[in-house]
Amino acid sequence: MQTTFSPAQLADPDTAESNRILRTCVHCGMCTATCPTFLLLGDELDSPRGRIYLIKEMLEGGQPATEQVVRHVDRCLSCLSCMTTCPSGVNYMHLVDHARAYIHRTYRRPWPERALRRVLSFVLPHPGRFRLALVGAGLTRPLARFVPGRSATAQRVRAMLQLAPASVPSPSDVERPRVHPAIGPRRARVGLLTGCAQQVLAPSINEATIRLLTRMGIEVVVTKDQGCCGALDHHMGHHDPAMRLARANIAAWSREMAGEGLDAIVINASGCGTTVKDYGFMFREEPEREAAARVSALAADISEVLTRYAYAPTRPAPGLTVAYHAACSLQHGQKITAEPKALLKAAGFTVKEPAEGHICCGSAGTYNLMQPEIAGQLKARKQDNIARTGAALIASGNIGCLTQLGDGAIPAVHTVELLDWMAGGPEPAAIARARVAA
């Protein structure tokens, strides 16, 4: 793609990188075949190729973002399916992240949307605030059907209330900074990102991760001062808050690396993993660039770590069929596709892959709150494809996907909880609840 940025514009590192990405695109349109919003809406501007044109014109012009550009960029899920499909290697992720930051700086959204984005940024990355917000939302959840109107604000309010769980789990002891020693001879020492929303919605995931790793002889460190990876702010275009959160994590893990050392930084929410693995790029012009690059190099999804250290079950095969839902951030963002399925099979599960496995479920961070209509269509499509497998369980490696899909007839369980169960851990609560209901 030909671009016409001025030398002054190219002096900005983000614009220079976007220029390089734009020049990689050859207009082939193969990305349109796997884009969820183009699949649903059939509008070229709601495809990666269309958005690339809009972003190019916006950045080259150097003018404030227009309502048209914002509307179509906002509809992008950042599922990155287009990057898996693209034969030219266009890094759409970095391009759309730059576009969102530019939009945030130059476009004034309607006040209800500004307020919602500020609330999400204030609440979601902070577990204590998020827990209180969920308690309040749970109490008012029955009122969701009484919220009137078809406006964007009304739809978003209903979506927030409907997504709130009926009850909020109690805080887990694993949230506290501490060292969880290996059982038996120590084979490795890893840090664990406990995250933000996940530790509130499903603390059982971190508990299962720590149980399983320590039984495998891996010492697990929950470092002081770590927190949200920054992804939620980053994908809303909130550059400075995202960098502050990421900077705190880099400092926390760097101290641990300089001390007793780390063999990996384990991440069990794939949306977070994609962002942490991108810290090296995010901080390429910052004083912390070397430390950020080291953190990115050590970051690993839980499935990668379990594969590296030869996970093995200790219980007989459970005789259950699992529909494996590949989170977009795992299959497209991190290019991890084989490991989770291989681990589930090794644990004794029969694994089935739903049709359209490359298409997003509609969760996508805060997307199911900001774009509830499109997210609802993708959710229904995904749940239907999963039901067609005849599976008894859904397994996935991302809390957003589990929240999005877990309200259907089929229980949704994190992959690591199933693997922990088959290696001596407790039966996941979702399975026990389903058995009682049956």
Phi, psi of 413, rounded to the nearest 5 degrees: -130, 140
Q: What is the mean pLDDT of residues 296-305?
A: 98
Q: What is the mean pLDDT of residues 268-291?
A: 97
Question: b/e map of 260-293 (b: 16 or more CB within 10 Å)?
Answer: eebbbbbbbbbbbbbbbbbbbbbbeeeebbebbb
Confidence (pLDDT) at 410: 92
pLDDT digits 0-9 by tens, 172-213: 988 899 999 999 999 999 999 999 999 999 999 999 999 999
Alpha carbons within 13 angstroms on the beta-carbon side of residue 173 total: 5
pLDDT digits 0-9 by tens, 4-49: 999 999 999 999 999 999 999 999 999 999 999 999 999 999 999 9
Instruction: Say how far apart CA 95 and CA 55 lie, in whole Å.
Output: 8
Q: What does the CA dihedral 126, 127, 130, 134 come to, rounded to 10 degrees?
A: 170
| 238's tokens | 């909130």
Q: Which residues pair with 324 in a beta bridge?
A: 395
Task: Give me the DSSP letters along 288-315.
Answer: THHHHHHHHHHEEEHHHHHHHTT----S
Instruction: Say how far apart CA 117 and CA 219 lie, in whole Å.
Output: 38
- Burial classification of residue 335, based on how many CB atoms lie within 10 Å of its CB (0-12 exposed, 13-18 middle, 19 or more buried): exposed
pLDDT at 146 over 80: no
Residues contacting residue 431 through CB under 8 Å, at least 6 positions apart: 393, 411, 413
Nearest to 78 by CA among 398, 363, 393: 363
| 1's tokens | 């793609």
Tell me how crowded residue 151 is: count the other CB atoms within 10 A of its CB: 10
- Reported as type and span, the H/E element at residue 155 is helix 152-163
Model confidence, pTM: 0.93
Instruction: Say how far apart CA 247 and CA 355 lie, in whole Å.
Output: 39
pLDDT at 432 over 80: no
- Provide the CA 256 distance to its chain's centre, in angstroms: 25
Confidence (pLDDT) at 152: 82
Instruction: Say how far apart CA 403 and CA 430 lie, in whole Å.
Output: 12
Residues contacting residue 100 through CB under 8 Å, at least 6 positions apart: 73, 235, 236, 237
pLDDT digits 0-9 by tens, 103-121: 999 999 999 999 999 999 9
Confidence (pLDDT) at 434: 66
Tell me how crowded residue 58 is: count the other CB atoms within 10 A of its CB: 22
pLDDT at 424 over 50: yes
Confidence (pLDDT) at 309: 97
Q: How many residues does the chain have?
A: 438
Across all residues in the chain, what is the average pLDDT?
Answer: 93
pLDDT digits 0-9 by tens, 64-99: 999 999 999 999 999 999 999 999 999 999 999 999
Confidence (pLDDT) at 122: 94
Contact between 102 and 60 (Cβ < 8 Å): no
Confidence (pLDDT) at 438: 46
Q: What is the mean pLDDT of residues 248-253?
A: 97
Nearest to 419 by CA among 341, 335, 320, 313: 313
Please state, for a pLDDT cut of 90, what percent of the chain lies above it: 85
Confidence of residue 400 (pLDDT cuts 50, 70, 90): very high
Longest dimension (CA), the chain: 66
Instruction: Say how far apart CA 4 and CA 291 lie, in whole Å.
Output: 35
pLDDT at 301 over 70: yes
Tell me how crowded residue 109 is: count the other CB atoms within 10 A of its CB: 15
pLDDT at 311 over 50: yes
Lowest mean pLDDT among 184-193, 280-289, 406-415: 406-415
Confidence (pLDDT) at 161: 81
Nearest to 244 by CA among 258, 254, 257, 234: 234
In the chain, helix, strand, coil percent, each to 5? Answer: 55, 10, 35
Confidence of residue 223 (pLDDT cuts 50, 70, 90): very high
Task: Report how far apart, in Å, the C-alpha atoms of 291 and of each of 5, 222, 307, 431 are.
Answer: 32, 19, 26, 41
Nearest to 395 by CA among 437, 351, 429: 351
Contact between 199 and 240 (Cβ < 8 Å): no
Confidence (pLDDT) at 137: 77
Q: What is the mean pLDDT of residues 123-130?
A: 92
Confidence (pLDDT) at 262: 98
End-to-end CA distance of the chain: give it in Å, rounded.
57
